[in-house]
Structure 1
């Protein structure tokens, strides 16, 4: 009698991943000049870093960016410290999530700024959805937290995740080839 254990692999939870993709697009989908900047590959990299935040400060260091104060409870977990790269190479999962965002009218696609690649962002409906994820139990929308000045908001999981996603903002301007090179250095353990 061979039965599976009665638990769900969190990486495969549709609702969680749907929310994470929406939040990455919400926070990083547009540049400060309001241009869509996330193509499929960048979105995949930022989703990976959101799920494995122990790699974020190394990425920032390699990119010559300022260190991000990320709460250690998000960084020092067994999952975060692992080098599971499935998220980076499983295009089908992210395509499925993007398709669902599009069907629900939450995904905007821009091909005018760069005809070689489609850039993704949220529609106003998608922004409303992301902001609903961030509502606290008192109905207020999450505000960014300064981890050095105050403890993280543990009232809402997605608010805590948004703090991690916000730390990726300095990487928005990095080219895809640089992001990939930095990730390769991290995976190889090349810390020079």
Structure 2
């Protein structure tokens, strides 16, 4: 696995509000937070850039709304901000893609000469997937460490329901099979940047 010297890690929406199980329901991948932390540590130690993305929901009942405690990054993310040797960016958004946030992620990446990104965070099939798809469309080489993401059970049309693990697998198949991203494990990425 070839990870460029300036490949950016994009950490999407790792916020306290996602701990509110009464709002979101059952989640998958209990190891995701540990794997996200390991990626941040590896990226910061290697001097590569890290982007921290926060979702500022405009829905008044959302646990991710500004001014509510759930809008804050989870403590393990907040304590790592500003600790790396590489460049760091903080993006806020109110839609699924980190590329539609403030400041403009695409402009920042291009000005830094970044052509390869890693997308980790919450939710697998929502903001993480949308960010990865858009990155692929914009021409970036994208790695998607599935085990550094998680999601929740979902309900769709006609009462269809899918469990969180099914939704995560669907994301992996769509991203990898569709050519948007290379779906990998977080350990592979940590090993690649630590070598």
TM tier relative to shorter chain: under 0.3
Instruction: Normalising by structure 1, report the TM-score.
Output: 0.25
* Larger Rg belongs to: 1
More helix by share: 1
